[in-house]
Amino acid sequence: MKKYWIKDQIVYPTYIKSLLYISYRETYEVLDIIKELGILEYNFEIYCSKCEKFQDFKILRSLNEFPEKLYCESGHKLDPLKDTVLIYRVIKDE
């Protein structure tokens, strides 16, 4: 059987949405079901909501990893709840 995802691969909801031609809501519902099966975990990418730009920072495995004081390139103070985008990481590739 061909494997589509490998362990530690990042899965972007936007990509899944475009593959399946479904809404974002449906995309996250599908990915959450796969997460519940123990194949995916939540991860977060830092995105300045004011500049509307992704930040050159490591992917976070938890919001607890968000630095206490973090600013975007334009000087906006970033907030873990407002300035992150939910993505997924493959944790099981069987």
Enumerate residue ranges in the chain where pLDDT < 50. Answer: 1
Structure confidence at residue 24 (pLDDT): 96
Residue 4 contacts residue 34 (beta carbons within 8 Å): no
Structure confidence at residue 15 (pLDDT): 94
pTM (global) more than 0.85: yes
Structure confidence at residue 1 (pLDDT): 47
Identify any residues that bridge with 77 across adjacent strands, giving them in sequence order: 71
Dihedral sign (CA 61, 67, 72, 78): positive
